Structure 1
């Protein structure tokens, strides 16, 4: 006698990883699962929890970086510590796919969130007591902990969203990071607004950052495993069969040599290469309070830009490949404009050193605006790339591996950038030119990758086949 689908799923409306059905019986799910649990397991709720962690952790780190040289009197030690952070982050990210797939996304986020407050405390100790060894040690600890968090985050942001809302979900994530910079910038400005202040940022500024960084941990503990998440369209996340550690390690080589990563590697190297040079630029040419103001106002345009790009990438009237092509054109054109402007400004500064530019100086607007726009074009490049990577994945674990590989190469680029700026602290022109050249070199393989974008996400195709197989089995 045949059984109905409702009978099979009577005790648990969520198909387990062992079953073939990928969709959720939403009627039974609403009838049998308490509202609080449905809200908690919803993909948007999980994305918000992840975004809050991004607000408390990476966004606060970005706000400190936005002070120019970490807000210290000279950017040299900050650049050394940051270079160490990204060097270790690259190493851990290289092994991050197997690690996160073994311990789970939730516990990788917990480990990472525990490392966030260390950076704020190290900058405070350096600013208050001149303690440089702790700042450098914190760079190493943060590199390891943040790498765990970044790999888990990358896998989550590419997996949680329904196929028709990936751009908007990624925009929410990017905006949360920039809202963190907005709050951080308000803290900076409130404590560093007096004209004529010399040296570094007030030590009390870092205490506020430290408090916010400590809040990431409880939100990490609220993350639910992927197999329990229900997307807004009723689909489940496709979970592949668990692999052994040896098999996971073999997948590293397969992932790193895949067409997807090989063609996107130079873009990953370039994507955040600008951060080291712009941090040095602010620390070299801007006063304390103008650096504080820059960290407050720079996120505004990014919020509008990221949601605008998200709507374009989610347009149902265009094929996925066409949306990928349009997104690439937008990101590249905006970045080219910013880099040309920044190189022109730095060439002028090399001819005539402006000293420490204050916000009431006539030169402030033209010298600050390139930094303002790079804080939009940089995150746009990131949001677009993660959207593109998720267009190729077949399951959640593959998203984690691809995200780990991308983050590894990205961290190598950041380590090189900050290391390079420890040697070119008085002339950011070298960094601007290298970054601009990297964009040009990365563009050709990216065009090849974008033109091979599948018209449908492979994971969605897999889910549909699982559903069809499940229906056939139920009808037997």
Structure 2
């Protein structure tokens, strides 16, 4: 294995170049942009009285998201993660404005326009942010920082849900939320862009363990896209396609289900309280995945098994509830009144397991990525396939009188299909493949192949020497 190193003076350890500060920046953008987006989604159909137009707009959003997220894995590597994150923050306020006009004047075209802008923008955002959250910390700290990120992401809907709850607590009927709710969200969403510009470039970030964040840039734009394409058809990624596709497939079903069967204030309560489920599960799974005393393969298999068991239980419970709802008069659940607890528990635990599943997949691709650019490619593909799944799921919810059993069946079936190929990938996981470089040396730019580098950097990260690089 060839290596090329250069000496450079040690950089002064500024707080603003530290990993915690970079995570705080990414978490701040997550709070203001997708966090507020999730808060609106937590109301069910973006707070609208009818879910179908909003579901159609979201299907368009995720279709564009799926395409641009994969492409953004290469583009962000060329322009830098800071600018990718900044581009990613632009579209969310336009989406919120679109929902506002649809709620106020039933202006569907502007809602579609906002969804298009958000879909393109979100591709850049998620590819960049995921690379920062996973790539900037050391491998042994990733579970913790993923949990911090998920908490910040959930804090957006919690704050937004509190706003929803305060503005809509007296609305004990079904229908749309008040227009003032959107104004508050749009203002908060606009803060994402200036926060994103505070992110430091990877080569200036320092880790407490003395290692550097390694980033490569392909020689040309064409080579960058070729590297993404080659990774996308690699055996490992193909095996993980069902898991990537299904990991967020449940979200549109939950949104439409809340709109169909819960009052406005019950939906506001859900948009506030349900996010604590994601926080709980994020820290539980993050703490477990960082336990270096347990073999990495054992950690991965145990975490995945627990997630699957909870999800299977939730979908069985959803079948029972849906059969009851179809066989009786259509219910409209107000908070803490007859039947609310059993119906809402499914939403809570579905979110608990769903957020854990997404965090687990981020952690998993982080173990196979060799450096920040490789990670950007991996996370772009991950989020692109997740978005493709949500495109299909939102399209299913865009039809009036949608049969919820179809969505439940698809979620349940694809989840079962994903188990065996994901297990094969977990069985091959022996250690983190990240190339370790200390602060005293730097790696020059150069082209490489993600999949080949993963195979070459075969020592556990705590056994690699500073000169182990491609």
Q: Which runs of 5+ in 2 are unaligned?
A: 437-456
Among 169, 189, 192, the residue aligned to 1:213: 189
Does residue 164 (structure 1) correspond to residue 140 (structure 2)? The answer is yes
Does residue 368 (structure 1) correspond to residue 374 (structure 2)? The answer is no
Asked whether the equivalents of residues 424 and 430 of structure 1 are also in contact (C-alpha less than 8 Å), the reply is: no
Among 122, 126, 134, the residue aligned to 1:146: 122
Deviations 1:299-324 (A, max 9, x none): 12321221111111011111211211
Deviations 1:336-388 (A, max 9, x none): 11111112111111111333211142110011110011121111001000001
User: Following the alignment from structure 2 to structure 1, what is the Cα–Cα distance between the partners of residues 142 and 265?
Assistant: 38
**TM-superposed deviation, 1:407:** 1.0
Match of 1:106 in 2: 82
User: Following the alignment from structure 2 to structure 1, what is the Cα–Cα distance between the partners of residues 423 and 98?
Assistant: 42
The alpha-carbon distance between structure 1 residues 278 and 168, as it changes in their structure 2 partners (threshold 3 A), is: same
User: Following the alignment from structure 1 to structure 2, what is the Cα–Cα distance between the partners of residues 444 and 316?
Assistant: 25
Q: Calculate the aligned-residue CA RMSD, in Å.
A: 1.9
Match of 2:445 in 1: none
**TM-superposed deviation, 1:18:** 7.9
Match of 1:187 in 2: 163
User: Following the alignment from structure 1 to structure 2, what is the Cα–Cα distance between the partners of residues 212 and 431?
Assistant: 33
Among 35, 48, 54, the residue aligned to 2:30: 54
User: Following the alignment from structure 2 to structure 1, what is the Cα–Cα distance between the partners of residues 299 and 316?
Assistant: 26
Does residue 288 (structure 1) correspond to residue 287 (structure 2)? The answer is no
Instruction: Please give the secondary structure, in 2, of the residue aligned with 1:456.
Output: coil
The TM-score with structure 2 as length reference comes to 0.91
Does residue 349 (structure 1) correspond to residue 364 (structure 2)? The answer is no
Among 276, 279, 302, the residue aligned to 2:255: 279
**TM-superposed deviation, 1:130:** 1.5
User: Following the alignment from structure 2 to structure 1, what is the Cα–Cα distance between the partners of residues 424 and 108?
Assistant: 45
Match of 2:366 in 1: 390
User: Following the alignment from structure 2 to structure 1, what is the Cα–Cα distance between the partners of residues 400 and 385?
Assistant: 23
Greater displacement, 425-434 / 69-78: 425-434
Greater displacement, 354-363 / 125-134: 354-363
Asked whether the equivalents of residues 284 and 425 of structure 1 are also in contact (C-alpha less than 8 Å), the reply is: no
Task: Output aligned runs, 1:81-100, within 5 Å.
Answer: 81-100=57-76
Asked whether the equivalents of residues 281 and 355 of structure 2 are also in contact (C-alpha less than 8 Å), the reply is: no
**TM-superposed deviation, 1:270:** 0.1
Asked whether the equivalents of residues 248 and 389 of structure 2 are also in contact (C-alpha less than 8 Å), the reply is: yes
The alpha-carbon distance between structure 1 residues 425 and 217, as it changes in their structure 2 partners (threshold 3 A), is: farther
Does residue 45 (structure 1) correspond to residue 21 (structure 2)? The answer is yes
**TM-superposed deviation, 1:423:** 2.4
**TM-superposed deviation, 1:456:** 3.4
Among 391, 394, 398, the residue aligned to 1:415: 391
The TM-score with structure 1 as length reference comes to 0.89
Instruction: Please give the secondary structure, in 1, of the residue aligned with 2:216.
Output: coil
- Matched pairs, number: 444
Among 399, 420, 423, the residue aligned to 1:447: 423
User: Following the alignment from structure 1 to structure 2, what is the Cα–Cα distance between the partners of residues 204 and 381?
Assistant: 34
The alpha-carbon distance between structure 1 residues 392 and 129, as it changes in their structure 2 partners (threshold 3 A), is: same
Deviations 1:376-422 (A, max 9, x none): 11110010000010111111100000111111111110000000111
The alpha-carbon distance between structure 1 residues 333 and 20, as it changes in their structure 2 partners (threshold 3 A), is: farther
Deviations 1:72-104 (A, max 9, x none): 010011001100000011111231222111111
**TM-superposed deviation, 1:128:** 1.2
**TM-superposed deviation, 1:433:** 1.5
Instruction: Please give the secondary structure, in 1, of the residue aligned with 2:466.
Output: helix
Q: Which runs of 5+ in 1 are unaligned?
A: 1-16, 471-476
Match of 1:6 in 2: none
User: Following the alignment from structure 2 to structure 1, what is the Cα–Cα distance between the partners of residues 383 and 336?
Assistant: 39
Asked whether the equivalents of residues 20 and 466 of structure 1 are also in contact (C-alpha less than 8 Å), the reply is: no
Instruction: Please give the secondary structure, in 1, of the residue aligned with 2:211.
Output: coil
Asked whether the equivalents of residues 299 and 375 of structure 1 are also in contact (C-alpha less than 8 Å), the reply is: yes
Instruction: Please give the secondary structure, in 2, of the residue aligned with 1:459.
Output: coil
Deviations 1:212-269 (A, max 9, x none): 1111111100001111111121210112254311111211221111122111111011
